[in-house]
Structure 1
Amino acid sequence: MSECDCLNKGGGKKAEGPTYLGLDLSTQQLKACVVDDNLSLIAEAIVQYDTDLPEFRTTGGAHIDKKNNAQITSPTLMWVKALDIVLDKLTVAGVDFSQIVAISGSGQQHGSVYWQKGAENTLKSLKPDKFLHEQLAKSFSVTDSPIWMDSSTKKQCDELEKAVGGPLKLAEITGSRAYTRFTGSQIAKVRETKQEAYNNTERISLVSSFLCSLFAGAVAPIDISDGSGMNLLDIKSKKWNEALLNACGPQLKEKLGDPVPSYNIVGPVSSYFVERYHFNNECKVVACTGDNPASLIGMRLGEGWIAVSLGTSDTAFLWLSQPQIVLDGHVLCNPIDENAWMALLCFKNGSLTRERIRDTCADGSWDTFNKLLESTPRGNFGNIGLYYDKQEIIPFLIGDYRFTKTGCVSKFNSPENEIRAAVEGQFIRIRVYAEDFGFVLNENTKILATGGASKNTAILQVLADVFNAPVYVQDAANSAMLGAAFQAKHGLMHDTKTYLDITATIPEPHLACEPYADVADIYTPMVQRYRDIVGQLTEKK
């Protein structure tokens, strides 16, 4: 075991009252935290796969196939060993496991785990004097799990879309057209290329339900929210689609089991954890979900809110009452409200593009950048810019495109025009695709900004203006891990308290800026112009 690398937020003091354990099994690390009954952080610990588990020889937590670098996997047993280590780190941090009354977790979406026949019996009979990884070493029929970074399943994606009548029909059923990283096509590839392994697979888990299974001592059900990111689940009926199951592999429904709500109590914690770590045998295991739904939980988004994460990629999380069917982006089942949905929009060109414009137009200075941005009027005299350093997902474009009121130009008249065009263009982009999903902007709309650029008030002011909505900020670091801990309490108390009641103890985000009164007249026409411009550019491709 590696040396302890943990942070005890509680100074070693024992918490008063019940506590909750949340974990996030992400691509590069496993994080765990314990929160008290007020959902305040008591302790946390982290395991970095590359450095803490060098024997698995991962890069960024993954294996990239040398012959086919589109094929990317992670060693399943590495995740098990990471759990062994992180629990030891929490022990050293002084966590009293007997106080924990509920556990939940999140996992990187779209990864899949293949349990060998007989694995469930192994889970049910774990010996407390041995590590988990020692006892589960032979429990996986596929030893390296396909993960979200894999893009080797184009053939299987085409077959999935064909099985139900095309990409739009698949999006109507599952919330997304076929994507190579989604689990349905990954399962189909395993069945085609590793038929013996598929036949010897007793159950198939997502990364989230795999983590849940370890604590429950039995193969745990897939939760509906994470399950909706598989291209297999009907997001309206919340059941597996038979035609899609049949397209992926025989007996797949039995291998997956029936999906459950995200707040479902799977059962009591396994006796292994009671005997080895002194968990209370009454501690409940709540269904684990994907990292994106868990982030929605951790950020405490409700109806009318949109979260915009301004990082290397710009990502938007939307709470939807009734989603529209689109081919770009993803609709998932909402982990908090079974009668609602969530949408996820991801744009590759985020902070690095803003930094490139800063370097070329403001001598690398954010102070200069902000002054130039604020000196240019809202609407930028009708100038609109689209900047894509990398091949963008939506729209599918690369390069810089500049438009004045009269048409396309090679450059704008001044650095301040360039800066405002870049920032306004990025936020108009998010608004356009959010509206396509069915998100309705009105007087109740609020924006939660996170990520590095959320500290820049000048940029946030443009965000508020483009959306004609107030922008709030909060410390949402590790939102998936904290969301898992919040979900543990939500699952335990779901029958008696709402999610908003449960999280009422958490400080509210604070107002960063409000839109100016004239922004609707300025940006509504610009949004339509952006749509027209993108339509023209993509038609030429």
Structure 2
Amino acid sequence: MYYIGIDLGTSAVKLLLMDSNGEIKNIVSKEYPLYFPHPGWSEQNPVDWWKQAMAGLKELLAEFDKTKVAGISFGGQMHGLVTLDENDHVIRPAILWNDGRTGAETEYLNIVIGKEKLSEYTANIAFAGFTAPKILWMQKQEPELWKKTAKIMLPKDYLAYQFSGSFCTDYSDASGMLLLDVKNKCWSEQMLEICGVKEFQLPKLYESYEVVGTIKPELAKELGVSENVKIVAGAGDNAAAAVGTGTVGAGKCNISLGTSGTIFISSDHFTVDPVNALHSFDHADGGYHLMGCMLSAASCNKWWMDEILQTKDYAGEQTGISKLGENQVFYLPYLMGERSPHNDPDARAMFLGMSMNTMRQDMTQAVLEGVAFGLRDSLEVARSQGIEVQCSKICGGGAKSPLWQKIIANVMNLTLEIPKNEEGPGLGAAMLAAVGCGEYASAAEACEKLVKTKAVIAPDPVLVEKYEERYQKFKKLYPAVKGVLGES
């Protein structure tokens, strides 16, 4: 049988076809626009997601026996606010995870309601990208549109709704709304009251591997698949990527270098970061995880290459970079503000330490190192709580760079395991579909049987020492420049 994973990303939807043995049979990617109507804002049209997902599915299955498709599941960009009216029409463009408009609402939640209460209700505090502040913003700035809101959903769940008619979400994705009682896996009555949300406006909650419905008959006919194809809840992109890399169960770690960057530490028991610098979320395997998220990771390198150097030769620009740990140029990777651990939507990127001797390669190296240092900030929070991480999986577009892999291994002093299949959320979603269809008994069993390691990168003690010195300087930079730049 075949299982389909749909990874609804920020720049494109990627569709992956996997067979019962975990072999990837086909991958298709379809792009859609990203809109920035005001500085710091980030939006997309959910209808674009759906159109491209359907177009991608037809292309994905064109050369395969469509009757063998058993299940479809999802990995998706988290936190986005999708609103539908009573006729299921999209009310306004989705406000995305990397949107920074909700500074006032975030401050209200953290200061007026209070971080302690938020953490008690949801295990997290408010961040500008979370869904709850977006709801408050919409109520204040677009009250007429808010009055029309009958359904509130997350990006991937819009696709699940279109496929099945099931108004659903999963615990891992819902964890990032600031509306979920993460510990008890239910909607928080207190947060719904604070945010003026009725429970009927929110989707039914499922584990990531649970079946939420079957494909609509008319879609089955259009795609040429069986009407018995199961639609499985899926997971937020980072939890789905963790499944795709085998990061399930206690004490496992995954680093993702996508548009955003994350460090994801799985656990079989509920844990809260006392200072709330890390997110405490439910995991797609039925357990829990701590996660640090930086808003700009591989997107920093994309910006540097595409917009500044105006080249697509990413690998070529990294050729010749050899003096690791000795670069005098620093880069703060805050193009869209920052979430973990600083929680500052007004933080901005900058280069520091240039001299007359600074060359193009030094700047490129600084970008790669700045992202690694930013990820280490979150790792240090975990370490300060006694969480020991010795090795990590790594995935995402940026993780395809051998140089970046080496930098991260030495900046973070971690052994990196490179998965044989580096498809992250799409593969994880397909694996969840297989679990939902009974191909595997659990996410853990699917990971044990399907996830293989193709390479291991061990840190070099000499480089670790050099980067330790550089990191100690890096972590002083943000406090020194905080408040100098940002929205006026």
Counterpart selection for 1:100 from 50, 69, 76: 69
Indicate how the Cα distance of structure 1 residues 294 and 184 shifts in structure 2: closer, same or farther if over 3 A, else same: same
Q: Is the CA contact 1:308–1:314 (under 8 Å) kept in the aligned structure 2?
A: no
Q: Is the CA contact 2:101–2:128 (under 8 Å) kept in the aligned structure 1?
A: yes
Q: Is the CA contact 1:331–1:344 (under 8 Å) kept in the aligned structure 2?
A: no
Gaps of 5+ in 2: none
Does residue 1:226 correspond to 2:173, yes or no?
yes
Gaps of 5+ in 1: 1-17, 50-59, 120-138, 403-409
Counterpart selection for 1:279 from 208, 221, 225: 225
Give 2:208's aligned residue: 262
Q: Is the CA contact 1:330–1:345 (under 8 Å) kept in the aligned structure 2?
A: no
Give 2:28's aligned residue: 45
Indicate how the Cα distance of structure 1 residues 241 and 518 shifts in structure 2: closer, same or farther if over 3 A, else same: same
Deviation at 1:255, TM superposition (A): 0.8
Q: Is the CA contact 1:304–1:445 (under 8 Å) kept in the aligned structure 2?
A: no
**Take 2:368 and 2:212, find their aligned partners in 1: how far apart are those partners?**
45
Deviations 1:215-256, CA, capped at 9 Å, x for gaps: 22332x221111111122222222222232123224x21110
Give 2:284's aligned residue: 335
Give 1:21's aligned residue: 4
**Take 1:69 and 1:423, find their aligned partners in 2: how far apart are those partners?**
25
**Take 2:210 and 2:64, find their aligned partners in 1: how far apart are those partners?**
25
Deviation at 1:276, TM superposition (A): 4.0
Q: Residue type of the partner of 2:114?
A: G
Q: Is the CA contact 1:470–1:511 (under 8 Å) kept in the aligned structure 2?
A: no
Does residue 1:81 correspond to 2:29, yes or no?
no
Percent identity, aligned pairs only, is: 22
Deviation at 1:184, TM superposition (A): 1.4
Q: Is the CA contact 2:296–2:334 (under 8 Å) kept in the aligned structure 1?
A: no
Q: Residue type of the partner of 1:351?
A: N
Give 2:409's aligned residue: 464
Deviation at 1:488, TM superposition (A): 0.6
Counterpart selection for 1:491 from 413, 432, 436: 436
Give 1:481's aligned residue: 426
Counterpart selection for 1:506 from 441, 444, 450: 450
Query: Mapping of 1:365-514 within 5 angstroms?
Result: 366-370=318-322, 372-373=323-324, 386-388=330-332, 393=338, 396=347, 398-401=349-352, 427-438=372-383, 442=388, 444-448=390-394, 450-452=396-398, 454-457=400-403, 460-474=405-419, 477-493=422-438, 497-506=441-450, 508-514=452-458
Give 2:94's aligned residue: 145
**Equivalent position SS for 2:129:** coil
Deviation at 1:532, TM superposition (A): 5.8
Q: Is the CA contact 1:115–1:203 (under 8 Å) kept in the aligned structure 2?
A: yes
**Take 1:169 and 1:335, find their aligned partners in 2: how far apart are those partners?**
26
Q: Residue type of the partner of 2:152?
A: I
Structure possessing the higher radius of gyration over alpha carbons: 1
CA RMSD of aligned residues (A): 4.0
Q: How many residues get paired?
A: 464
**Take 1:275 and 1:443, find their aligned partners in 2: how far apart are those partners?**
48
Q: Is the CA contact 1:310–1:350 (under 8 Å) kept in the aligned structure 2?
A: no
**Take 1:197 and 1:183, find their aligned partners in 2: how far apart are those partners?**
16
Does residue 1:161 correspond to 2:83, yes or no?
no
**Take 1:423 and 1:141, find their aligned partners in 2: how far apart are those partners?**
38
Give 2:240's aligned residue: 294
Indicate how the Cα distance of structure 1 residues 282 and 532 shifts in structure 2: closer, same or farther if over 3 A, else same: same
Q: Is the CA contact 2:301–2:367 (under 8 Å) kept in the aligned structure 1?
A: no
**Take 2:363 and 2:64, find their aligned partners in 1: how far apart are those partners?**
52
Deviation at 1:101, TM superposition (A): 1.6
Give 1:210's aligned residue: 158
Deviation at 1:211, TM superposition (A): 1.1
Indicate how the Cα distance of structure 1 residues 237 and 505 shifts in structure 2: closer, same or farther if over 3 A, else same: closer
Deviation at 1:539, TM superposition (A): 9.6
Counterpart selection for 2:190 from 214, 223, 243: 243
Give 1:351's aligned residue: 301
Q: Is the CA contact 1:164–1:244 (under 8 Å) kept in the aligned structure 2?
A: no
Indicate how the Cα distance of structure 1 residues 534 and 28 shifts in structure 2: closer, same or farther if over 3 A, else same: closer
Deviations 1:175-227, CA, capped at 9 Å, x for gaps: 553333322122233334444544443322211222111222332x2211111
Q: Is the CA contact 1:72–1:146 (under 8 Å) kept in the aligned structure 2?
A: yes
**Take 2:34 and 2:102, find their aligned partners in 1: how far apart are those partners?**
21
Indicate how the Cα distance of structure 1 residues 436 and 281 shifts in structure 2: closer, same or farther if over 3 A, else same: same
Q: Is the CA contact 2:321–2:365 (under 8 Å) kept in the aligned structure 1?
A: no
Deviations 1:496-535, CA, capped at 9 Å, x for gaps: 6232321344352233432345777777777666556665
Q: Residue type of the partner of 2:172?
A: S
Q: Residue type of the partner of 2:233?
A: A
